[in-house]
Structure 1
Amino acid sequence: MTSLVHPQALCESENVGSATTVRAFTHIHAGAVLGAGCDVGEHVLIEDDVVVGDRVTIMAGVQLWDGVRLGDDVFVGPNVTFTNAPMPRDPTGPPTPVRTVVAPGASLGAGAVLLPGVRVGRNAMVGAGAVVTRNVPANAVVVGNPARIHGYVNDSVPTVTESSPVLFEELVGGAKLIPVRMASDLRGSLSAVELRSDLPFPPARFFAVFGVPSKDVRGEHAHRRCAQVLICLRGSVTCIVDDGTHRNQLTLSSPDRGLFMPPMLWGTQYNYSTDTVLAVFASHAYDGADYIRDYDQFLNELADTDS
């Protein structure tokens, strides 16, 4: 099936996939590449150095400047603005186009603004009118100006709470909540961990996370070999565990339980309370090469493992 270009549209590109519809008053430059099954609305401009994946919807009033990359199944709402110049008053402009990436499955709400060079992660959702000033993690829901994480797309996976019946059962990817001994009396409270018997591994490293602004996110990575146990000693923090197919969201808010995260599990922590102190026990010493910080790379390595 050939592409369907409205007679009042100007499509100079020969790289437009089958079953793609281009509506009136849209201009597609010669170097642009569009995949199959796309729907391009009216009054859209697509410059030469733009690559659009398959089944992408681009609503009316959108300009895709040189350097924009849209993955498969992306939705771009009406009047979304992609900015393309870090220094707009520089008469020479950027020497090379700034790469702005919207990963597969992501959605951009009407009137959202993306600063040049940002990356919107796989399946993320940007709210209407949001101003995206830095990278958006995979599966995150961001809103506001500047855009901040409001939550995560959970694919109908229920949130695990302290009263959930799965409290000490396995979560996705072999993660689980484990009990931690705690004692309280008039003198205060104490939580105790026997390093050789209470943890699922002999720890090689300990660190603590604290003083995190509530708007910020930590984690956003997986480990190839290292396992971890997270215990919230004070305050609360929301955690996401993601095995590449399913996710669980849970809140750590008591030092009488810990979250065990085995290797090859994507972890994210956000929504810190201002007084949060998060203790982390790790099975291995720090090794930068053990980290996977790109979600798509994480999915690729999982696929290689399965094959």
Structure 2
Amino acid sequence: MVLRNVFDCTILELDKHHSDRRGNLTVVENGKTLPFDVRRTYYLYDVPGGESRGAHAHRELEQLIVAVSGSFTVTLDDGHCKRSFFLNRPYQGLYVKPGMWRTLEDFSSGAVCMVLASDVYKVSDYIRTYDEFIQFRKDYE
């Protein structure tokens, strides 16, 4: 396994089509738009003010996190460094590589967070405690 850091994760610009007075259309396609094929899509919404989501890492899963409505902040942590991203544009997504601890917070009213994932839900891929995450990182250094 290649150990990544927070600077390997970046904002991807998604294609914006039909940008005119009738509105915009953004397309995400396997094999074209993303560096992985999407195997699962889910979204978070109605997150109460002051609440956070995430607070876990994945061993192998890649994700694209998009603020399809409203805004929120994603903070990534590689065990040595933290990096925060403010997401508020539906034509941009944060590409999160495996092995990053992530926390989503500061959700605006009406925010919708869509996540495109490289694999189906697998309990074994989750790292749910920060201590376990730090040990996971040390095991691969």
Establish whether TM, by shorter chain, passes 0.5: yes
Task: Using the aligned pairs only, state the percent identity.
Answer: 35
- 1:164-203 paired onto structure 2 within 5 Å: 172=6, 174-183=8-17, 184-203=19-38
Higher gyration radius (CA):
1
Pairwise CA distance, 1:256: 1.7
Match of 2:135 in 1: 300
Residues 1:239 and 2:74 aligned together: yes
Structure with greater helix percent: 2
Match of 1:115 in 2: none
Pairwise CA distance, 1:296: 1.1
What count of residue pairs does the alignment treat as equivalent?
A: 137
Alpha-carbon spacing, 1:200–1:283, altered in 2? closer, same or farther (3 Å):
same
TM-score normalised to structure 2 length: 0.92
**Which runs of 5 or more structure 2 residues have no equivalent in the other structure?**
none
Pairwise CA distance, 1:195: 2.1
Pairwise CA distance, 1:305: 1.0
Cα root mean square deviation, aligned: 1.5
Match of 1:46 in 2: none
Match of 2:118 among 269, 275, 283: 283
TM-score normalised to structure 1 length: 0.43
Structure 2: distance between partners of 1:195 and 1:209: 22
Residues 1:207 and 2:42 aligned together: yes
Pairwise CA distance, 1:214: 2.1
Structure 2: distance between partners of 1:195 and 1:179: 15
- 1:1-307 paired onto structure 2 within 5 Å: 172=6, 174-183=8-17, 184-306=19-141
Structure 2: distance between partners of 1:191 and 1:302: 35
Letter matched to residue 205 of structure 1: R
Structure 2: distance between partners of 1:302 and 1:290: 14
Relative contact order (C-alpha < 8 Å, sep 6+): which is higher? Answer: 2
Pairwise CA distance, 1:173: 5.0
Letter matched to residue 203 of structure 1: V
Structure 1: distance between partners of 2:65 and 2:102: 11
Q: Which runs of 4+ in 1 moved over 6 A?
A: none
Letter matched to residue 209 of structure 1: L
Query: Is 1:173–1:265's contact at 8 Å kept on the other side of the alignment?
Result: no
Letter matched to residue 198 of structure 1: T
Structure with greater strand percent: 2
